[in-house]
Structure 1
Amino acid sequence: MGLGFRMVFTDCDALIFDSDGVLVNSEVINIAVEQEYLAELGLTYDYATYVSRFVGLANADFHAQLAADFNEHVGGEFPQDFGSQLDERIWPRIEAELKPLDGVEKLVAAFGGRVAVGSSASIDKLVRKLELTKLERLFAPHIYSADHVQRGKPAPDLFLYAASQIDVQPERCVVIEDSVNGVLAARAANMTAIGFVGGGHADSGLAERLKASGAATVVSSHAEILEML
């Protein structure tokens, strides 16, 4: 890893991690189940378009965009129980298949600075995923979700809130994100963003889209970030 990549951490006092697709392998499960259910409702998306548009959004924004697409392309009212029906499909798989991504604990230990989680998931689901994968202890009590702010990603609010809670200036935070919406949020918060494509759901163009959104660099594993320290 060259000097230019190590400079990402020159003025870094804190790491803020997204969760789905960065800490745990849930994004690949989420996307598969979501696309299957949406196809049943008559909404189909190209995979790369789906990942770019929807990954990283808070549930309210995700559902609002789907409802608009449904009205335009299918017609009628989008199912009011979409969220609960989706949960019934996703959570049995989460409980059975969820795993932590390799290298998280080593990275947190080696970094030695302040760490937090900033995820678009609801707080109860976020905490449950971290409990299932035994990662909660690495970050508690600094586990923050879209529930803590009025505007979700790509707005900067969640990352700014996390920075305020760990008492670190935004410009001294590095965010690890797997989504275009998350990278945009980090950059809007005046934070450095590292794009992450090691969550199992990345298509061939995701790395370039993360760079185009403002990521300083893109990695495919936490071991690569460890080499930057």
Structure 2
Amino acid sequence: MLFEAILFDCDGVLVDSEHITNRALHTMLNASGWAISEAECLQIFIGKTVRSETERIERETGQPLTDAWMAAFYALRDQGLHAHLQAIPGAVAAVQQCHALLGGKIAVASGADKAKVLMQLDKVGLLPLFDPHIFSGHDLPRTKPFPDVYLAAAASLQRDPHHCLVIEDALPGLQAGLAAGATVWGYCPWEGGHTTPEALLAAGAQRVLRDMAELPGLLRH
């Protein structure tokens, strides 16, 4: 095997959640006075926490980013996720095979809040394969693009990050994986709305998967 463990991002890699979350954020920002398109919203926030763009949100809306606003956003987001969330095509079978190939040495390292990550994994049937190796950047001193969440995931599996593979679809997460010392492979399906393969490769991904079903076979080469 090429790697001793695999550390997966969640949103956009395991679950097709990016557009659902973005739609809720777009709705909230427009209601608050920021006339932003869905495409621009996705471009700005993909791979980031909402609070990481607090200064920009407050400048564009003219209002403080309050805990109450965040709670309303989370409620609208979670309503959409409960109604529409699906696994990334091929991801469930790929994770099952990777779990078997690596003796369970797989983890999730997400920049999203842990409650969301757990809910999403449970909804698509992946929670038992990862539990308890599920980590959120919200629970650590720094979130992506810093390496903390990937370092925590590797430590939980008792593996050196340099022997781990990270699967990421966004640049902040890719940067976090590289900063942790891991090898990073990008994921970008053929449809739009994701960071392009060219951008992922330019940022340091060793390869880009266009289909999650490719992953188990590539681990043997």
TM-score using structure 2 length:
0.87
Distance in 1 (CA, whole Å) between partners of 2:58 and 2:88 is 37
Change (3 A) 1:158 1:200: farther
Verify: 1:156 aligned to 2:147, yes or no: yes
Deviations 1:117-143 (A, max 9, x none): 001122222111111111101111111
1:128 aligned residue: 119
SS for the counterpart of 2:89 is coil
Question: What SS class does the counterpart of residue 175 from structure 2 fall into?
Answer: helix
Q: Kindly indicate whether residue 84 of structure 2 is the aligned counterpart of residue 97 of structure 1.
A: yes
| 3-state SS in 1 of match to 2:121 | helix
Instruction: Confirm whether residue 115 of structure 1 aligns to residue 106 of structure 2.
Output: yes
Aligned-residue offset at 1:52: 4.8
Q: Which residue of 2 aligns with 1:75?
A: 62
Q: CA-to-partner distance for each residue in 1:87-144, whole Å, 9 max, x for gaps?
A: 2211121111111122223323433111000011222221111111111011111111
Query: Taking every aligned residue pair, what percent have the same amino acid on both sides?
Result: 29
SS class of match (1:81)? helix
Are the aligned partners of 1:130 and 1:136 in contact in 2 as well (CA < 8 Å)?
Answer: yes
Q: 2:37, 2:139 → 1: CA distance?
A: 32
Whole-angstrom distance in 1 between the partners of 2:200 and 2:7: 17
**Unaligned runs of at least 5 residues, structure 2:** none
* Structure-2 residue corresponding to 1:6: none
Kindly indicate whether the alpha-carbon contact (under 8 Å) linking 1:100 and 1:135 is maintained by their aligned counterparts in 2: no
Alignment check: 8 A CA contact 1:56 1:179 kept: yes
Query: 2:202 maps to which residue?
Result: 212
- How far is the alpha carbon of 1:40 from its aligned partner? 2.3
Residue 6 of structure 2 contacts residue 167 of structure 2 at CA under 8 Å; is this kept in 1?
Answer: yes
Compare relative contact order (CA 8 Å, sep 6+) and give the higher one, 1 or 2. Answer: 1
> Does the C-alpha gap of structure 1 residues 79 and 200 become closer, same or farther in structure 2, counting only changes over 3 Å?
farther
RMSD: 2.3
3-state SS of 2:34 partner: coil
- Please tell me whether residue 63 in structure 1 is matched to residue 54 in structure 2: no
Q: Give the conservation status (yes or no) of the 8 Å contact 1:117–1:139.
A: yes
Cα 1:190–1:53, aligned 2, differ >3 Å: closer, same or farther? farther
Q: How many residues align?
A: 215
Deviations 1:143-194 (A, max 9, x none): 1112431100000000001001101111111111111110010011111111
